[in-house]
Structure 1
Amino acid sequence: MSRVRLAPRFENFPPYTPIEPFEVLSARLGLPPEKIIKVDANENPYGPAPAVKEALANLRWANIYPDPESRALRAALSDFTGAPAENLLPGAGADELIDLILRLVLEPGDVVLNFPPTFGMYPFDTLLNAGQVIDVPRLPDFSLDLPAIRRAVEEHQPKAMFLTTPNNPDGHFPPAAVLDELLELPLLVVVDEAYIEFTREGGRLGENLSRIRSVPQRENLIVLRTFSKWAGLAGLRVGYGAFPTWMMPALWAAKQPYNVNVAASEAALASLRSLDFLAANVERLKAERERLFGLLQSVPYLTPYPSQANFILCGVKQIPASQLKASLAARGILVRYYNTPYLRDMIRISIGRPAESDAVIAALRELAEEKSEP
């Protein structure tokens, strides 16, 4: 009998719970895909730019391994972000880069600070890499508890912290002074800008608020970005990060050699050639977010929270949020449901097209009427 056993941390390892595939959901609900309103995963309802579809239809060299250094993509990303190409590293989504960062900096038992509620991949990848997660919960308005963070840094001597700006799932964007204060702490600060393009004061595609151009001047700042949301490439898994100069040699040595596939790279390049088209879609989604927020305020059993991302978190009262999720799913409307220590009876609604928002509101009002019937 083999003496090989799982590493102890994997014996009861808590898996990350992803959103189920669209075709699986369609089959389960017994509805054709075109009848389903999918507002559960913060995907872009407008999809990729036409240039992306053209690039994929005419894809060359799919039989050849991709450039392991993603040189063309890094050059285009440098033009887009203003960060030097030598500080940029693309990945198979930002998820790959989160894992890679932690592989490089954690020894077994090292601490990573987490600010729940937030993106679940940060604690997942910390545990995957034999680290220890220390939670510093957010305040009731989802802002960061700076005194508690300072105490945690002093007590636990963490290697890194992860901060989503705006935060998922609530859409809170921290003031610049808060991030400046965090950057003065003696640890690596990883700023995940997955939704920066949707901020109100971010300008065109978030450039006014992004910290990515500051990375080469700092020793402890990493900024992650993705094409999943603003560019509509969630299914192709392409993201990138800006890293301190001292970290780049280790990143190049440790990453998988062909981590960004040919199709994803070409789609990202086509997106960067289509900024006007994509920025217009982002503006549509920002306008629809404000409209949907006003409509959600009229639903008596919901408390929507202001958001600077492409989703709105809502507290559910009078009925269980799980029941609301199930009732909406029965009508072909898929929302994200939360019932965790930090999110009690909550749903999150991604911003869709106006017709999708109208259908969501109609269903929510219909359920309110059913509840009020004797």
Structure 2
Amino acid sequence: MTYDVKKYIRTDLEGFAGYSACKAPELVKTSNRIIKLDANENLYGAAPAVRQAMSAFDQYHIYPDATQFEIRRLLAEYTGVNMEQIICGAGSDQLIDLLLRLFINPGDEVINCPPTFAMYKFYTDLNRGTVVNVPRDADYNVNISGIKNALTPKTKLIFIAVPNNPTGTAISKEDIIQILDLGVPTVVDEAYYEFTGQTMISNMAKYPNLMILRTFSKWAGLAGLRVGYGLFPPVIADYLSRIKDPYSVNIAADTAVRQTMLQREYMLETVKKIVHERKRLYTELSKFSWLKPYPSAANFILCKLIKGKAKDIQQALESEGILVRCFDAPMMENCLRFSVGKPEDTDALLKALGEMGE
């Protein structure tokens, strides 16, 4: 007997493309040192206390705290938000998924501002929502009037990345408040908060439709452990605590986050180094006649190629052991994104680009 398992699969997933992640360094064929500038990680790595705690840890056979109590207590101290309003997850990606599960019925609309973080669309599609795109302008600024015009009775969520990924574009608090004043549940994704210092936390009491996401992947050097958290109105936090996986933060990640928060001043010093290096990288990239770098408030810089093909440059850099991200989506045709690493990483990148532009 022949079994057709596919007939049992959701038909709406027939054309679901999935997410194109960065290439694993071990798959790169090169004799050179790998310089990973493709995923916006903190190349200084985790805090020394994290490494020490992980090497001494021996409780991997025990389930982690399902409530993430100690992490949330430390985060309450860090953010000034009551710990009852803090929800932790396996990266902010999981929290995006949970929010869509909470708010979206099939056909409900989610306003997205492309080009932006791909997971907003990914999870909206996966949860049978309808993505309503309000494209950014030529400089990648959010179209506020476009968002207002896109609202319908089916609009359930608005996603705004602050600053935006993959463009690095900032958005003012005043513009975010204009969006919040629309009354629709709005997710302000502050994944790069530590690099900007800009947050909407002080507005949470006034706006019960405001939800804030953050992560330990970018500033804290914990991308491989997948830990994120969100700050929510009490009623939303209550619902999310009910529907989320109880052990979503594994015990290794739990340990690492605790140590990071206890040694956060050390990690924030590495953030300052990255911000300083971002300024240098932007200045040097601006000197290449064939590149157009965009101002960035994050830990990466997006560049459009004025001549040449971005894919060719990406592949040439990869052969030298330098991994960067290439984009060719609408409004991001022929673009490269460079994560900001250490000074020696910048030197290697600039040297390679200089040789390619000769």
- TM-score between both structures, scaled by the size of structure 2: 0.96
2:14 matched to 1:11?
Answer: yes
The equivalent residue for 1:164 is 161
Report the alpha carbon displacement of residue 10 of structure 1 after superposing the two structures with TM: 1.2
Q: Residue 329 of structure 2 aligns with which residue? A: 340
Q: Are residues 1:319 and 2:308 paired? A: yes
Task: Find the aligned partners of 1:248 and 1:336 in 2 and give their Cα distance.
Answer: 35
Partner of 2:237: 248
Q: Count how many residue pairs are aligned between Structure 1 and Structure 2.
A: 355
Find 2:119's aligned residue among 118, 121, 132. Answer: 121
Provide, for residues 289-334 of structure 1, a one-character-per-residue CA deviation record: whole Å limited to 9, x for no partner: 0001110011111010110100000010220111111111121111
Q: Is the 8 A contact 2:86 2:231 kept in 1?
A: yes
Q: Measure how far apart 1:249 and its partner are.
A: 2.2
Unaligned runs of 5+ residues in structure 2 are: none
Cα distance in 1 for partners of 2:170, 2:227 equals 24
Q: Structure 2 matches for 1:27-42, cutoff 5 A?
A: 29-31=29-31, 35-42=33-40
Measure how far apart 1:241 and its partner are: 0.3
Give structure 1 stretches of 5+ with no counterpart.
203-208, 370-374
Does 1:44 find its partner at 2:47?
no
Distance 2:105 2:331 in 1: 28
Letter in 2 for 1:253: R
Instruction: State the Cα distance separating 1:351 from its structure 2 match.
Output: 0.1
- CA–CA distance in 2 between the matches of 1:277 and 1:55? 16
Q: Distance in 2 between matches of 1:354 and 1:264?
A: 28
1:37 Cα offset (Å)? 1.3
User: Conserved in 2, the CA contact under 8 Å of 1:66 and 1:262?
Assistant: yes
**After the TM superposition, which of the residue ranges 212-221 and 102-111 deviates more from structure 2?**
212-221
8 A Cα contact 2:134 2:147, kept in partner: yes
Matches within 5 A, 1:37-76: 37-76=35-74
Alignment partner of 1:106 is 2:104 = yes
Query: Which residue matches 1:93?
Result: 91
Instruction: Give the conservation status (yes or no) of the 8 Å contact 1:90–1:240.
Output: yes
Out of 233, 236, 239, the residue aligned to residue 225 of structure 2 is 236
Q: Which residue identity does 1:133 align to in structure 2?
A: V
Conserved 8 A contact 2:38-2:339: yes
Give the match's secondary structure for 1:127. Answer: helix
2:346 aligns to what?
A: 357
1:188 to 185, 190, 208: 185
Residue 101 of structure 2 contacts residue 127 of structure 2 at CA under 8 Å; is this kept in 1?
yes
CA distance in 2, matches of 1:36, 1:263: 26
Q: Deviations over 1:33-70 (max 9, x none)?
A: xx111101101110000000011112242211111111
Counterpart residue type for residue 316 of structure 2: S
CA contact (8 A) 1:216 1:243 kept: no
What is the alpha-carbon distance in structure 1 between the residues aligned to residue 154 and residue 139 of structure 2?
Answer: 27
1:20 maps to amino acid? K
Is 1:176 equivalent to 2:173 in the alignment? yes
Superposition pairs of residues 262-273 of structure 1, within 5 angstroms: 262-273=251-262
Distance 1:176 1:216 in 2: 15
* 3-state SS, counterpart of residue 328 of structure 2: strand
